[in-house]
Every structure is written in structure tokens, then in C-alpha cells.
Chains A and B, each alone.
Chain A
Amino acid sequence: MSKSKVIQVEGLTKMFGDFAAVNSITFEVEKGEIFGFLGANGAGKTTAIKMLIGISHPTSGKATVAGFDVYTQTEDIKKNIGYMSQKFALYDDLTVKENIIFFGGIYGLPRKIIKEKSDALIKELGLENVTNQLVGSLPLGWKQKLSFSVSLIHDPKIVFLDEPTGGVDPITRRQFWEMIYKAANQGTTVFVTTHYMDEAEYCDRVSIMVNGKIEALDTPKKLKEQFQAESMNDVFLELARG
């Protein structure tokens, strides 16, 4: 296995009865890459992700995530990935600090490291004045950024982001993408699933899933050229409408 390939997927398939939710998908993601994983609702995105993060067993095919096999080493996979979704991020009824300590704790970080990390994280995000405030009382944008930082607290090799910036105001959204670029620059692989095509434009490469299959995979620029489209949105419409 090449060292720089963090995710390798070959012919991965998930059947539900006769229905192939994920139909033999193949792709690779490199270290430090921002990879967009797109698809309409029901295209099989969620099922594919579940297999990659080790909570669903594939029917057939091969896949390794962070060097670990998705069939046999799911526990190791879970230790090496981070996850953040817009729907569930942090506990609203815990304070900023309690959230950080909790999430550090579930990844088994030693107390001393959690302390260091949480101080650094709070400083970086400029949250010094609100460490003891409930997360629920923070503006949405702050929550998103905090939640992203928390998903990186255990230095995962790959972080999975599920529609990370939908509904966020444009400025916070940019700040968010800057954080993502920074994480990628430091070698973390960022795996973004979304059906907001403008989020796709920010990725290094994107794959588009339609009916369980990956129908396109390239940089946004090349995809736009290939489909002679102005935006990823048009590319997507072209593909999804067939």
C-alpha cells in the first residue's frame, strides 16, 4: 500500500436484499486531500460512509481507511477518524470546556493532553471569555468552528464532515473553510459529504454518486470543463438527470 493513500476503496458494495445501495464503488483519497463526496438524497452516500467509518459491514469489495481494513479492523478505524455533522455536533447543555473534555475523554486522551489541547483550541478560536458558557448559547458559527476543532482533538488521520457549512452565514463559512484548508495543510485528510454543490467547489477533488455508483470523479475544474458547465451545480444536474 502506498503511504500517501489514506483511503483505498475497490469494488465496495452494499446490498439490501436485491437492492444495491452502494454498487461497486472504487476510489482513492490521498493524505491531506480535501475530498468531496457528493450525491442526491438516497444516492447511497450515507451507506457508503457508514461502511468507511466501520459501522456497517460491506457486502463485497475491498476498502482500507487509514490503513485499516473495513471488515476486520473497525475499532482501529474509529480511533483514527474524526466526525462532524451539522445536525449533531456538540452538547448544547454542556459548557465549551465540558464538551472539549468529554470528546477528548471518549477518545481516551490522557487528562494532561486534553488540558493542553483544550487551552490551545480555546485560544485559537478566541473563545477565552466563553469557556464556561453553555454551548447552546453560542452563535451558530462559533458552534460550527468549535465542533470542527473538537472533531480534530485526537489528531485523526481523516476527518469526515457531513454538510459542514449548510445554512451558515457567508463570512463564518469562509472562516470555516480556512480552518479546513489549515487542517489539510497539516496533513489531515478531509472527507466532505454534502449535497450543497457550492461546498463542492472548495474541494480538491469530488466524486458524484448517482444510484449507488460513482458517476464522476475529478477536480471541480476538470468536471466543469468536461460537462461544459458553469458551476458544480450544473455538473450535478447534468449527471443526476441523466
Chain B
Amino acid sequence: MQDISFEVKPNELFGIIGPDGAGKTTLFRILTTLLFPDQGAATVAGFDVVKDYKKIRNSVGYMPGKFSLYQDLTVEENLNFFATIFGTTIEENYDLIKDIYVQIEPFKDRRAGKLSGGMKQKLALSCALIHKPKVLFLDEPTTGVDPVSRKEFWEMLKRLQQKNITILVSTPYMDEAALCDRVALIQDGKILQIDTPKAIVKHYHKSIYNVRSANMYQLITSLKAYEHHHSVYPFGEFVHYTDKRSDFNPADLNAYLKSKNLSHIYIERTEATIEDTFMELAI
């Protein structure tokens, strides 16, 4: 990680978006006082991460990337344990976790190791919340979780936000960026951009075209061989194409592709996504 600067506002749902190995976990570990920064300073909830680490440890909730609950303790025992070590009880902050916990309460006597992925995640979140933290750090909470659980999880985060908790969440999934208030795009230990998801997409100045044809592989090779191409990226059923020229005319491209013996050619202007922006910035 090098030279990272950002601010998170109270009550914000802030996303750190970047691929594996970008430095997301390191950043979270510094902010939760588990690692020393080599250079620079950071404050969390008003406390310095080096000097006031004890105070920070009292006021943040942290959910590490790995599933960090005791597999051999039951759901209730896990929650009880985390409540106790943070000097509180389940009853005291029940209203905060109620929404989430009621979904797993029917299984409260089941060992955590026997829960499904989605339920484990809910339990982990309950445990991270039990002491009513001011700031909640969630390191890749949705990695390896199926779309249904992912959606539910983000809905839970939205509700938590309304209960006066600032949430920092990291994720490698670009599509989750849209669910955050603001996001930082991060790659190779550097922040590429910080803004609201909408603004980030707006910053993308080039025109993007969806291109499709009958043969995907030949389409990609032909587009890459086209002398005016700026970028060619497969994007689901399409290829996202940008041109170097400002007066680009799709008809030219169509003619070129036809000359390459491609059939069923389809070219249409489209909107940039976070992923397009990310790739443009990351080069």
C-alpha cells in the first residue's frame, strides 16, 4: 500500500473496491490497529490508529475476510462470547442486531460450523455488531456467498446505516460499488479514484460501444487488429469497444468487421460501468 488518503463521513456506507491483492485487507488491518502503518497517519472515530489503539479497539466492529467464529460453539454461545469480551450483553444491544439475529435465532443451539454460508455470515455480522460499534469494518463479507445471500446482506447493511453506524466494506465485485454511498477504487496498493458511484461513471469520457457478432473470439481478434481501437474488452455477451477518434462512426467499424468475414454484427452505444472506469484508470 502506498500513499493512500481518504475520509469517510459519519454514517456513510463506504466501499473499498478492488481485486484480490490490491491492499484492501492491509488497509483494514491498519485501520483496526492490527498493523502499524510505515508512514502517514490515520484516525478512526477520532482516535489515532497508533497512539489510541485501545480506544479504537473499543469502538469498532471488525469482520475479517475469513470466517472468524468458533465452529465448535453454538450460535448463541458465539454471540454471548463476543458480547462478554466487549463488556456487554446480548440483551443490551438486542435492538441493533434484532433484524439480523431473528433470522438465525431458530438455529441458536446449532454449532456455528454446521450453518450454511449465508447464516454464518449473518452470525458473524451479529457478533461484530454486538457491542454497538461506531464504525464497522467488513472485509470482503460477500466473497464466496451466493447472489441471494449477497443481496440480503447488502439490504442489512442499508438498514444498519440508519442506526448511526459508519460502515466500511471492501469487495472485489465491481457491481457492488453501486450499492455504496461512496467508493474508493483501489489497485496495487493505490487508490485510483474516490467518489460516488454515479460520479465515477460520469468521469468516463469516452464513448463505449457494445459490439457483438456470431463468433466472439474472431470478433475480439479483429477488433484488436483494427488500427483505430482504443480498448477492447469482453463484457458479458458483448465486447466493450472504444475508439481513438473523436469523430468515430460505427458504420466504419461495421464495414471493417464485415470485411473480416464476421456475421450477425451488432454495434450500439452504451453507458460506462464502474468496471469500465476501473479498467481505464488501472492501465
Task: Show the binding face of A for B, using Cβ within 8 Å.
Answer: 40-42, 139-140, 166-172, 174, 177-178, 181-182, 184-185, 195-198, 201-202, 219-221, 231, 233, 236-237, 240-241
Contact = CB atoms under 8 A, between A and B. Distances in A.
A167 B21 CA distance: 9
B237 A182 contact: no
A119 to B, nearest CB: 23
Interface residues of B, number: 36
A233 B173 CA distance: 13
Chain A CB within 10 Å, residue with most, of B19, B147, B278: B147
A171 B240 CA distance: 12
B233 interface: yes
Nearest to A178: B220
Contacts of B215: 185
A236 B148 CA distance: 8
Interface string B142-168: 011111110100000000000000000
Interface of B: 18-22, 116-118, 143-149, 151, 172-175, 187, 215-218, 220, 233-237, 275, 278-279, 282-283
Given A40-B146, A195-B146, A169 B217 contact: no
Contacts of A184: 216-217
B251 to A, nearest CB: 24
A181 B220 contact: yes
15 contacts: A41-B145, A42-B116, A167-B19, A168-B20, A172-B19, A174-B279, A181-B217, A196-B173, A201-B235, A202-B234, A219-B237, A220-B236, A237-B151, A240-B146, A240-B147
B143 A40 contact: no
A174 B217 contact: no
Given A41-B146, A166-B172, A236-B147, A171 B236 contact: no
B237 A140 contact: no
B20 A202 contact: no
A40 B150 CA distance: 11
A140 B19 CA distance: 10
A43 B137 CA distance: 30
Contact of A233 (B175, B220, B279): B175
Given A170-B275, A201-B237, A231-B175, 19 more contacts: A40-B146, A41-B116, A41-B145, A41-B146, A166-B172, A168-B20, A169-B19, A169-B22, A169-B187, A177-B234, A178-B220, A185-B215, A185-B216, A195-B147, A233-B175, A237-B148, A240-B146, A240-B147, A240-B148
